[in-house]
Amino acid sequence: MPPGVDDLLPPIASGVTCPVERVLAGAGERVKELADDLGRFSATETQVHETLDAVGKPLTRETRKSEYLAELAQPRPGWLQLSEYRRNLAAQGDFTDGVYAAGLLGLAFIFHPALQDNYQLDCEGLGEWRGQPTWLVHFRQRPDHPRRLQGFKVGTKNHEVALKGRAWIAAASFQVMHIEADLLEPLREAHLLYEHEVGDYGPVMFKAKNTQLWLPEARKSIWTIAAAACA
């Protein structure tokens, strides 16, 4: 497994004070822009599912490509509703592992003003990502607040999870560039023992409209599921 978010603190500049309120406000505005921009584009989404052995070697690998559209709404204060529309391009059907993933671009929404209060947010200092200076912000689900970002559906029951993680936020623009997240605790109801999420975001140029939007680039999820659940 890759290191957890709390196993190693990335290098940070010494003697630099983080303007935490400005960083969170700026990141909130950028994520609101991301939410507004989601409905302005369509894309080809590629999902890859792999089953790994004990040393991380793929035992099986399946790929699905879909036409993809998304829209984010805020039906009431403190709630975000992500609607996604997919059309399988190869008519291959669902993945044979029985896992269906949706909302894969949602990690950055932790910093949406409607959701920030659900997390303990601590600015750890000035670091870098891909050569650009970034503020490192650690987040952790508050125990007395609702878990609204991620959940697992097993049968007919939904199980919300608590996450902790770290985001790399551009020092100049406050765009979320990179984000990693782990489970706070195993989700026994879904037989989920471990989860590590990685998301990357960056500028995408739409030449037809001469417009550049900051959008999700890639998302990677690693899960450990209890062996009994796989039998």
DSSP for 67-123, please give it. Answer: EEEEEEE-SSTT--EEEEEEEESS---S-TT------TT-GGGGGSTTTGGGEEEEE
Write down the pTM of the prediction. 0.86
Scan for tokens 């991301």, then name that residue: 34
The answer, yes or no, to whether residue 108 has pLDDT greater than 80, is yes
Per residue in 133-147, pLDDT tens? 999 999 999 999 988
Dihedral of CA atoms 209, 108, 166, 57 in degrees, nearest 10, equals -80
**How does residue 54 score in pLDDT terms, banded at 50, 70 and 90?**
confident
Q: Phi and psi of 83, rounded to 5°?
A: -110, 130
Most confident of 8-12, 22-26, 186-190: 22-26
**How does residue 26 score in pLDDT terms, banded at 50, 70 and 90?**
very high
Amino acid in position 37: D
The answer, yes or no, to whether residue 231 has pLDDT greater than 80, is no
Q: Are 166 and 180 a contacting pair, CB within 8 Å?
A: yes
Most confident of 66-75, 82-91, 126-135, 207-216: 126-135
Spatial distance between the Cα atoms of 82 and 108, rounded to a whole number of angstroms: 13
Spatial distance between the Cα atoms of 147 and 85, rounded to a whole number of angstroms: 24
